[in-house]
Amino acid sequence: PLVAGLGDALRAAGVPVFGPSAAAARLEGSKGFTKDLCRRADIPTAGYVRVASRAEADAALASTFGLPVVIKADGLAAGKGVTVAFSRDEAAAALDALFAEAGGEAVIEEFLDGEEASLFVLTDGTDLAVFGSAQDHKRVGDGDTGPNTGGMGAYSPARVLTPELERRAIDEIVRPTIDALRAEGTPFVGVLYAGLMLTAQGPKLIEYNARFGDPETQVLMLRYEGDLAALMLATATGRLGAVPAPVFADDAAVTVVVAARGYPGTPAAGGAIAGIEAAEAAGAVVFQAGTRDDGGTLVASGGRVLAVTARGPSVAAAQAAAYRGVEAIDYADGFHRRDIGWREIAREAGE
């Protein structure tokens, strides 16, 4: 909706909007637009080539990139438009899918080695406020195996994004982005979700989203301790610099996505779901996504069905609480990853 101009229409009607204009929302709506902005503003990101045909893509693969290589749909793809190809055959299959319809565009990128983290920043177009960090788990299977999804779970905070790395990400990536868009006459208002790769050279931008993200929102909100509506209104009305910075609990939060069998392909629909009250009695918060009421029975109606979320003094403790909630739910068609937060839990164990 933001890419389609919802924010512009509401502003024209005099309604304050926490969200960017269509022009600024291209940060999420077009990978190529964002990469070109990074080039203009000298923002660290992966090397890339924009391609508008299969012939251009084949030429770029042959002349510019080794393996592995990253292939991205230029436009919105519900979190599933990215392929990390480890062979020429995988790259060819990804390009076949992208260019199956006329008018397709893609971005081909060098592969970045490192650990991913997500940084969330509110901005009124001039001032900014950091709104926490998280680490998503995109792959469908344990151990980060299988195809990409919209996200199978997350935890917050992402301590791998140290205070020094966060400062660099703000100074080298986020603030230059905000300043560049304002200078070009398309100020960004709302939340910037910066997907980062923490490389040996420092943080590099993978992508931007113009929203909080799912499942990252669940873990951020379980830790946020302020008045969200007041903060969003201040952002929407250009007063972000006049309100206190966001405050988060010291606790960690973990969310585990329960998805329908078949996801991220065609998900099984209509499966009955029970036990949500038991999960919440066990200390979890259950966010419903792909569900509907069918004559008094809760049933699945989408790929990602539930996000079972919990807090704890460590990621390990929060993970244990979230999985207690998952185990209390009766959903025969559902499946979930069993290792959400595994990187941070390993770091905690090492300490």
The total of other beta-carbon atoms located within 10 Å of residue 299's CB is 18
Q: Residues 197-252: pLDDT tens digits? A: 999 999 999 999 999 999 999 999 999 999 999 999 999 999 999 999 999 999 99
Domain contains 284: yes
> If you write DSSP's letter for every residue of 74-87 in order, what string do you get?
SS--TT--EEEESS
- Domain match, 74 and 126 both: no
- Domain match, 288 and 206 both: no
The CA distance from 207 to 31, in Å, is 7
- What CATH number has the domain bearing residue 170? 3.30.470.20
Domain contains 1: no
Mean residue pLDDT across the chain: 95
Which residue range is the domain that position 78 belongs to? 47-110
Domain contains 70: yes
Region for 92 from its dihedrals, namely left if φ exceeds 0, alpha if ψ lies in -120 to 50, beta otherwise: alpha
> If you write DSSP's letter for every residue of 278-330 in order, what string do you get?
HHHHTT-EEEE-SEEEETTEEEE-SSEEEEEEEEESSHHHHHHHHHHHHHT-B
> If you write DSSP's letter for every residue of 47-99 in order, what string do you get?
-EEEESSHHHHHHHHHHT--SSEEEEESS--TT--EEEESSHHHHHHHHHHHT
Domain contains 150: yes
- Domain match, 54 and 117 both: no
Decide which of 67, 95, 110 is a domain's last residue: 110
Which residue carries 């010291």 as its tokens? 250
The CA distance from 348 to 314, in Å, is 8
Confidence label for 285 from pLDDT (cuts 50, 70 and 90): very high
- What CATH number has the domain bearing residue 63? 3.30.1490.20
Q: pTM value?
A: 0.94
Structure tokens that stand for 283 in this block: 């200390």
Q: Are 336 and 321 in contact (CB under 8 A)?
A: no
User: What's residue 221's pLDDT?
Assistant: 98
The CA distance from 277 to 284, in Å, is 9
- Domain match, 272 and 200 both: no
Decide which of 186, 212, 242 is a domain's last residue: 242
The CA distance from 62 to 229, in Å, is 51
Domain contains 171: yes
- What CATH number has the domain bearing residue 258? 3.90.600.10
Domain contains 127: yes
- Domain match, 191 and 266 both: no
- Domain match, 132 and 98 both: no
Domain contains 29: no
- Domain match, 99 and 74 both: yes
- Domain match, 64 and 127 both: no
User: Average of pLDDT values for 334-349?
Assistant: 97
Domain contains 38: no
- Domain match, 298 and 309 both: yes
Q: Residues 121-174: pLDDT tens digits? A: 999 999 999 999 999 999 999 999 998 899 999 999 999 999 999 999 999 999
User: Average of pLDDT values for 261-282?
Assistant: 97
Confidence label for 80 from pLDDT (cuts 50, 70 and 90): low
